[in-house]
Chain A
Amino acid sequence: MYEEPYRWIEAVANRRQYLDDQFTQGNPLVGVSFSQGILLLTFNRGTEKIYEIYDRIALGGMGHPADLEKLRYTLLDMAHVEGFQRSPADVTASRLMKNGLAPVIKQAFEEIFKAPYIAKILLAELGTIQDRDRLFTINYDGMFEEQREFGLLAASSSVRGLLAPEWKTHGSLSSLQSALEVSLRLWGIASLLQASTPFPDNDEEGTVPSSTAPVSTMPNDEAIASRIRDMLSKETLECVLLDRESGKMETYRALSLPELQPFIPSVFQPAT
């Protein structure tokens, strides 16, 4: 019955709605570029969401753990074979995204008789200088975007648009402390906006672009702080630094909570 064009479009719209529903309970993931490197941050309930892919490339994911694993392996295989047969310098997030992830995710999304990937992915690539940092995000339908300074995964891609003005108020970040502070704040806003946006990337017909999704009001400072305090007391803060100053080929470093604790602003610290 899906041979008819209308049926196929309807099936894709249904699939979009189904996928949007899957992400509503997920935690957003923030990536910011700053002078020392790229900081990736999210909260998890036990299963990690940020992984090392190659010497200067990290992956952050949102969605079903099994799908994320499958896509992670696709990237690992591609990156390591490329790095081995050519050079580590030839392994770039741009090529991994455009030649590796995007075609696979898009094909799975459009093959309506098969299960799609329940996954949104952020790929961060550390440059030798900050200007060369890149953050790629890809949606469950294979649509990807490239950013230089700030990347976000959230249930609705409209959240990123809402966060853009907030990001611009911070200017350039010069330390791990400022990068962590801003990332936590952006994460808090994204989380609250996500919770208040009922139909993320999809209207009834499934044809309205995400930029026109319902606009929520920006949460106030107390609401943001309260949200982060709540998360710090209930879930695990997951934070990774791609460190430009490591002095080594491999730049990926997971930051532990005790390491981060001194940098977390007191207003975000849960009451002991």
Chain B
Amino acid sequence: MGQQGDFLQVLRERGYAVDDLRHPVNGNGLSGNTEVTTGTTVFAMKYGEGVLVAGDRRATAGNVVMYDRTDKVLELDRFSVLAIAGVPATAFEMARILEHSFKYYRRSQLQDLSFEGKLRALSTLLKNNAPAALAGTGTVAPIFAGYDQLEGCGKIFFYDILGAEFEAVEYAVSGSGSPTIRGILFYMNRWGRGPVAGLDEEEALVFVLRLMTSAAEFDSATGGVDAHAQLYPIVKRISAEGVKTISVERLKTLFSEKVLNHV
């Protein structure tokens, strides 16, 4: 089946449980004292030069901060990014499967998988994961952003935990800190100085840092920015040139000049 470039099928043939990444616990949910690692803020927004995707660094389980250096914005290939929200165990596994699927397709078929094909691949994984999502052990609600080479533009899609796919016109948000960001973005687009999609790169990056700081202010599961610990969100830019990670040095400078000390 590999001749069709289907890596999922190759995995299935080797007995890997690709259609059942996480068994529901006890058949109908979590045991009483189990805390699943979750809670996050990821978002993607269009701006003047492409798409920016950002994610905070914190992973929590209930009230416990598990880790403060998580990378939730994962490059799947040169032109696409998955921002994960939900149970990291399942989300990271999905990202790994997708990354290898896209590589396998490109190398075996000698052409890139289409943007539409990449979306279908993610939908399939989410759909197959529905039992675990409903049970609460494998809930994942990711954002997929990438550059569509056929249409020559950046695109953003977001998903519910069952795999329903929605295209975002201007931005998409996910995770426990997302209501704050969604509200600010709505306000800025409606009553701000102009649509966020018209910002240049520096303005957009400053805006991203301010959004993440706002989300962290109201959501304990969002890490925000910790300048003392040199912890900044992961921010990636998507354009016709592909995916590029914004350097910590640049975020540090912008945060210091335009967020922390801004009056």
Binds B, one of A19-27, A79-87, A143-151: A79-87
How many chain-B residues does the 8 Å CB contact rule pick out? Answer: 15
Is the Cβ of B16 less than 8 Å from the Cβ of A76?
no
User: Does B182 sit at the interface, judged by CB under 8 A?
Assistant: no
Does A8 touch B at the CB level, under 8 Å?
A: no
Which one of B81-89, B96-104, B248-256 contacts A? B96-104
Query: Contacts A53-B107, A81-B14; is A73 near B100 (CB within 8 Å)?
Result: no
Residue in B96, B97, B100, B110 whose Cβ sees the most chain A Cβ within 10 Å = B100
Question: Please, which residues of chain B bring their CB within 8 A of the CB of A111?
Answer: none
B103, A80: Cβ atoms under 8 Å?
yes
Contact at B107–A81, with CB atoms within 8 Å?
Answer: no
The residue in chain A whose Cβ has the minimal distance to the Cβ of B97 is A84
Among B3, B104, B110, the residue within 8 A (CB) of A80 is B104
Report B86-124 residues with CB < 8 Å from chain A CB. Answer: 96-97, 100, 103-104, 107-108, 110
Q: Is the CB of A76 within 8 A of B11?
A: no
Contact pick for A76, options B14, B96, B97, B107, CB 8 Å: B107
Complex Cα gap A81–B7 (Å): 9
CA distance A204 to B82 in the complex (A): 62
B2 at the interface (CB under 8 A from A): yes
The digit string for B9-41, where 1 denotes a CB below 8 A from any CB of A, is: 011001010000000000000000000000000
The answer to whether B100 touches A76, judged by C-beta atoms less than 8 angstroms apart, is: no
> For A51, what are the chain B residues with a Cβ–Cβ distance below 8 Å?
107, 110
Give the most central of A77, A83, A85: most B CB within 10 Å: A77
Residue contact B10 to A77, C-beta cutoff 8 Å: yes
| CB-based contact B11/A73 at 8 Å | no
B107:A84 contact, CB within 8 angstroms: no
State in angstroms the CA–CA spacing of A73 and B3 once bound together: 7
| Closest A residue by C-beta to B96 | A84
Is the C-beta of A52 less than 8 angstroms from some C-beta in chain B? yes
By beta carbon, the residue of chain A nearest B99 is A84
Q: B7 → chain A, closest Cβ, in Å?
A: 6
A73: nearest chain-B partner, CB-CB:
B2
Given A52-B107, A73-B108, A76-B108, check contact A83 B100 (CB 8 Å).
Answer: yes
Report B's interface with A, CB cutoff 8 A: 2-3, 7, 10-11, 14, 16, 96-97, 100, 103-104, 107-108, 110
The 7 closest A-B pairs by CB, nearest first: A84-B100, A80-B104, A77-B2, A52-B107, A76-B108, A73-B2, A77-B10
CB pairs A–B below 8 angstroms (27 shown) = A48-B110, A51-B107, A51-B110, A52-B107, A53-B107, A54-B107, A73-B2, A73-B3, A73-B108, A76-B2, A76-B107, A76-B108, A77-B2, A80-B10, A80-B100, A80-B103, A80-B104, A80-B107, A81-B10, A81-B11, A81-B14, A83-B100, A84-B7, A84-B96, A84-B100, A85-B16, A250-B103
If A51-B107, A80-B7, A84-B7 are given as contacts, then 11 extra A-B residue pairs at C-beta distance below 8 Å, sorted by A number, are: A51-B110, A52-B107, A54-B107, A73-B3, A76-B107, A77-B2, A77-B10, A80-B107, A81-B11, A84-B100, A250-B103
